[in-house]
Each structure stands twice: as structure tokens, then as C-alpha cells.
Amino acid sequence: MSNISLRILKGKLLHMGTLITTGVMALGSSNMPALAGNGDFGPSNPFYAPSTLPFQAPPFDKIKDSDYQPAIEAGMAQQREEVRAIADNPAPPTFENTFVALEKSGQLFNRVLQVFTGVTGANLNPELQKVQDIEAPRFAAHQDAIVLDSKLFQRMATIYNERHSLNLDAESLRLVEYDYQQFVHAGAKLSDADKAELKKLNEEESTLTNSFTTKLLAATKDAAFVTTDKNALAGMSATRLEGAVQSAKERKVDGYVIPLQNTTQQPDLGVLAVRSTRQTIFENSWNRAERGGANDTREIIARLAQLRARKAKLLGYSNYAAWKLEDQVAKTPEAALKFMDELVPGATTKAAVEAKDIQAVIDGQKGGFQLQPWDWDIYAEQVRKAKYDLDEAQIKPYFELNNVLQNGVFYAANLLYGITFKERTDIPVYQPDVRVFEVFDADGKPLALWYCDYFKRDNKNGGAWMDVFVNQSKLLGQLPVVFNVANFSKPAPGQPALISFRDVTTMFHEFGHALHGMFSNTTYPTLSGTQVARDFVEFPSQFNEHWATYPAVFDHYAKHYQTGAPMPAELAAKIKRAEKFNQGYSLTEIVAAAELDMQWHTLPASAPLQKPDEFEVQALKKTHLWISYVPPRYRSSYFSHIWSTGYAAGYYAYLWSEMLDDAAYQWFEEHGGLTRANGDRLRQMVLSRGNTEELGKMYATWLGKEPTIEPMLKDRGLLPEGTAK
């Protein structure tokens, strides 16, 4: 698929639990809308020509909010003309005049879209929001216009069929096979009648998805816990109580309001002392979208599962997951299901041990009740305190942000890959908190630009992510311009930014994505950097997290911000031990959600409309995950990831990536740990290669074997005692 279409499909690198609402769904939901005239787009627009700044960095000093929309519209129009010319070319199709030409198309659109999505995600304002609302549906239509162009596809198919006799290099061959598969995947091979049918199903899916989002939002709002009795909230901190008062004021009700988060478990359940309050909040959460009435989502999800199965059948697959996983590392739902089945015993056995510890605390306090899901967090917290006694206030002075960055994140990357960093204050930024670094390769050559935007702002999406402003491509002569965004608390002016260990891990994580983008050394933009399968993309980032606790790195950055003293050994050991806490519960709830997702999306087209509650219980029982004290992280009726934000048949990917990263780290441990030789080998064989080879093969070649789940279980502390190496 042409680089731009793929980019739209891919979206940002999301974290577990993070939702985007701006994501554009695959395959058209509407007719091509009329585009506004491009009369106001010309050389004065900063996107008109490639940036003349180093690395073609976005000229944020010149870009005005009003520049985006005309550039986006002109960019789409230009790409459609370019694609039209490729499809209508009277010359016989060649790799150059079709695939390479497609790769070269859409450069203006890419240039503006990358910056636009970057800025709207991290620094939104009402004007940009308006542009986003208008343009987002047009991106989907733009993509359809390319992917469902039958003349274009005919040319691609001709080359695809001759590909082995064309003397193509490996990356070019991969491009042909990858693009062809993406087009087929989107329905390019269907007859006109089937295309029309697919379009109808897509439209219904899009309508249902929107309706699901709207209902769930309302249902979640309605299910907030409301009380005028302060005693019911015993255990809450003063700040948190103030927040509950604030929420009540916003809703114009008396007393206190505790709104629901998207997950099954709610953060306040970890502190609320009154058991009946906990139970009510939990039940509100669990039943939020199943209360009958206008905001019940069950009918919608049953129909969504059914129509997705029909869509898959139309496209020639036995179920939706089979269609969705074809271009993933797992390849088949059977492989993903087998992988999850293997995780279940280790996860649930450990969860049972954790439950026993918790029950012991309850009994020790003469609680007189059996552990229920709404008791887990508050008693687990007591177990944690007894076992680890970790105090954030004690830890944070050792994690000053800039020190962590320079002496931790950069330091590890320098040891592993030889790269160095120099801050550039002359490159314009979109917001004053943003910092820019030039990254140099081991031989001193410029490698990339890297931006970081670490502090929380009201106009920034939640969570943390990586994306690019400029995608690496040898064909287009582009070096990577990559950015990391996070939401760390901003210190008062003149004060140091002291961050939690969780934040430290986030920095390493996002920088792992950044390395994947910065090391990219591919010819074609479509195959470059982090544009890889969903069950692969979190591998480089999660892998990079391991260096945060690697002794030679940890000791280098974990120093007191005032005295420079290293963190006391006992404290450091506690941090590392605490990483293994509650892992039985947390893996079980994720596997349960991932199983639900996969069970819904492996229904055949012939299956009748399901009753969600019965289906859910059956699905969990079947997989040995129907456990009274560990509910799934999301219940089917409020599982937004799979019904509305693009993770359908994809939730397992977080766990799959984890298997890859832990197996990779074990390989390092077995081969001398953190060394340049090991780093360079990973860079050369994986991190620089984007999507230029089938990813499972690329990975296994590097590892020397297929990955297994043991390193992952070991990392989470889930191997039975005595078997951990």
C-alpha cells in the first residue's frame, strides 16, 4: 500500500489502556466528499516545499494553525492525481512505474499529515480540533480511493505475478508482496458486487462503532459513584476528595462524584476503606453498559461480531481474526490462541497464590469475608507495603529527569549502539517545553533528530507515545525526525523534575520506539521504521525498558539530585523486587481480555447472533479464566479497544510483543549482556530493517530460534520456584 495509506491505518503507538478517539478506521465509511478548492495553497504555505531546515525538520517558527488545512487538502488532491497517473499510464506496468511511483506519491500529504497528527496529539487547540473533525473522515475516503482503484490494482497484480522473474532485490520484492497483500486485504480482488457488499458492511460497522462509542461514553458517565456521605469515602486522600467534589460541581450535583475509568478495576478501590462503597463502584463499572435502556451496548457488539465475521467471509477468510492476523507475526488466530493458552497456567497459578496472601490479610484482620474483585487492590496494597515498603518520596530524588535522560537513556544507547547526542536549541519547536537533540552515529555522521515533549499539558492526549515528523527513506532522501511525548508532572519554575520509577521506565520505553525509528535504513518509506505489525511494534520499546534496571546503567543514573550519592543498595533492590509484585493478577486480567477479544473474532459467519453475557462466560470458562477474584481487564460490553479503536483481534499483540522482548533480553543475558557487539547485531539484523522482511522470520533469524514464553514468565516472576534461572 502506498506509504500514506498505511500511515493512516497504523496510527500512533498506543499503550495498554490508552485509547485514541481520533483514529481513522480502515476502509471507507463514506463517499468521497467534495474537497474544498486549493486556491489558498501556494508557495507561502510552509508545507508547500520540503523544509530547508536540517533533517527537513518542520519549520514550527513559520507554521500557523491556518496552514494545515489547505496543505492537507492540496496534499490529498495531489496524491490522487499522482495515483491516477500511475493507474492510467499507457506504458506496460513495471516495478518502477507502479510500485516505486506509488512510494513517491503523496509527499506533500505526508509532510503535512505527520506534523498535523503530531501537533494535534500533543498540543491541540480549538482551531486544530476543527480541522481534525473535518479532515479525519476524508482521510479514510482518500485511502479507499487508492486501495479500491481497480486499474491500479491490475498493474500491481501483473507485477506481483511476475515478481520472481524480475530480478528484484529483497526489499523491492518485499514491497511488491506487502503492498499486494495489503490491497487484497482491503478488498481489491473482489467483484464489483462484492465490493458494494463490503462497502455496505463497512458502513454499518462504522455506524455501529460510532454508536458504541457514544453509548459507552454516556453509560460510563451515568455509572459514576455519587454520594453525599463523606464517610463512605473513608481512606481517600484530601486531594482526591477535592477531585470528587470538583467532579460533583461539574455535574451540578451535591456531594462527591467518582467517575469511572475505562478498565474494570477502578483506581480508588485501592484506598477506599468501606467495603460496600468498593462493591458498589465495582458493580457500577462491571455493569455500566449492561443496564438495559438506551446506553446498553450488548445488541451492538453482538451485531458487530456477526458483521465482522461476514466481512471476513466475503474477503475469503474463515473468520475476522484470520483476516486480521494474516499480516501479523502470529499469522493465525490458532497461533495467538495457543500462545495465550500457554500463558494461562502460569498466570492463574500465581494469581491464586496472591489471592491466598490477600485472604490471609483479610482473615488476620478478622474481616470475615471471602476475597472479591473489589477487595483485591486495597488488600494487595497492604501485602505490597508489608513485603516491599516502597515509598515514592524516598525514591524520586534519585530520578531527576534530565539526569535520567542523559545518564540513563542516552547512556545505555551509547553503550549499546555507539550513538551520541547533542542538544539543538536552534531548531524551532511547537511548544516551549519541547527539546530537540541531534543524534550522531558511532562514526560521527548525523543519524536523526529526536524531540522530547515530556511534561503534562491540558491540551495533550493522555499516556506516552512515539511518532515521526519525517519518515526515514533512502528513496526520498529523508533522514528520520522522531519524537517522544509523555505526561510527567511539570515542576515549578526553577525546580528539578523528580520523576517516579514508572516514569523512568516510560522514558526508556518510548526511546526504544524512537531507536526503531532512528536506526531505520530502508529504501521505501512504506517499509521504514516502526511501520510494522501490531504484535511486533512494542518489541523494541519493551526491550529497551530492560536497560532501566540493568546494573551498569541503573547505577549510572540513579543518583541523588542534590548530593550525587548513588541510590542505597537496599532501596534499589526493593524497586527491582517490587516489579514482580501482583504479576499473577495483572497477567491474568490481560489474558482474559485478550481471550475474549479472540473468541468474539473467531466466530464463523454462520454463527447466530450471540447473547453477550452467555458468550462471555462460556469464552472464559473454556479458557480456564472464569475466576471469581480476577475479572477480565475489560468486559465485552465496554471493551472499546476491540469494538471501536482498531484493536479487534489485536489485543493479544501486547502480550505477543512481550514474549519477543523478554526472549530478546534473555538472549542478551546469555551473550554477555550490554555490549556494543550485541547492540550492533540487533541494530543490523532487526532495528534498522523496518518491515523489509517477514517480521517473524527476521526476529527468529536474529534470535537463532523461535521465541518461547519462558523468558516472559520468568520476567514477570511467574515460573514456579526453583525453575527460574
**Choice between 13 and 485, CB closer to Zn ion:** 13
CB of 509: closest distance to Zn ion in angstroms? 6
CB of 593: closest distance to Zn ion in angstroms? 18
CB of 16: closest distance to Zn ion in angstroms? 9
Q: What's the rounded Cα separation, in Å, for the pair 516 and 692?
A: 13
CB of 534: closest distance to Zn ion in angstroms? 11
CB of 512: closest distance to Zn ion in angstroms? 8
Do the beta carbons of residue 544 and residue 339 sit within 8 Å? no
Query: Binders of Zn ion: how many residues, by CB under 5 A?
Result: 3
Give the chain's length.
725
Interaction of residue 403 with Zn ion, rule CB under 5 A: no
**Choice between 465 and 585, CB closer to Zn ion:** 465
**Choice between 284 and 484, CB closer to Zn ion:** 484
298, containing H or E segment: helix 298-314
**Range 506-545, binding Zn ion (CB under 5 A):** 538, 541
The residues near 234 (Cβ < 8 Å, ≥ 6 apart) are: 272, 273, 274
Q: Which cell goes with 88?
A: 492510467
Annotated catalytic, 250?
no
**Choice between 538 and 710, CB closer to Zn ion:** 538
Q: Which cell goes with 427?
A: 531548531
Q: Which cell goes with 210?
A: 460510532
Interaction of residue 655 with Zn ion, rule CB under 5 A: no
* Strands lying side by side in the sheet with 420-423: 420-423, 435-440, 446-455, 481-488, 465-470
**Range 540-599, binding Zn ion (CB under 5 A):** 541
**Choice between 28 and 690, CB closer to Zn ion:** 690
Q: What's the rounded Cα separation, in Å, for the pair 484 and 31?
A: 35
**Choice between 471 and 506, CB closer to Zn ion:** 506
Place of cell 462497502: 199
Within a 10 A sphere around the Cβ of 426, how many other Cβ atoms? 8
CB of 464: closest distance to Zn ion in angstroms? 8
| Residue from 449, 71, 447 nearest 62 by CA | 71
CB of 12: closest distance to Zn ion in angstroms? 9
Strand partners, 483: 451, 467
Q: Which cell goes with 305?
A: 461480531
Interaction of residue 13 with Zn ion, rule CB under 5 A: yes
Q: What's the rounded Cα separation, in Å, for the pair 533 and 602?
A: 20
Angle between helices 373-388 and 569-578 (to 10 degrees): 160
**Choice between 322 and 405, CB closer to Zn ion:** 405
The DSSP secondary structure of 187-220, one letter per residue, reads TTTS-HHHHHHHHHHHHHHHHHHHHHHHHHHHHH
Q: Which cell goes with 231?
A: 464517610
CB of 536: closest distance to Zn ion in angstroms? 12
Of the residues 103, 438, 510, 658, only one is catalytic, namely 510
Do the beta carbons of residue 401 and residue 499 sit within 8 Å? yes
**Choice between 286 and 652, CB closer to Zn ion:** 652
The DSSP secondary structure of 22-80, one letter per residue, reads SPPPSS-SSPPPPPPP-TT-STTSTTSS---SGGG---TTT--HHHHHHHHHHHHHHHH
Do the beta carbons of residue 448 and residue 518 sit within 8 Å? yes
**Choice between 20 and 475, CB closer to Zn ion:** 20
Start-to-end CA distance of the chain, whole Å, equals 44
Strands (E), 471-594: 481-488
Q: What's the rounded Cα separation, in Å, for the pair 589 and 376?
A: 12
Q: Which cell goes with 381?
A: 496494597
CB of 545: closest distance to Zn ion in angstroms? 9
**Range 172-211, binding Zn ion (CB under 5 A):** none
- 12-20, 81-89, 455-463, 497-505 -> range binding Zn ion (CB under 5 A): 12-20
| Active site amino acids | 510
Tell me which residues touch Zn ion (CB under 5 A).
Answer: 13, 538, 541
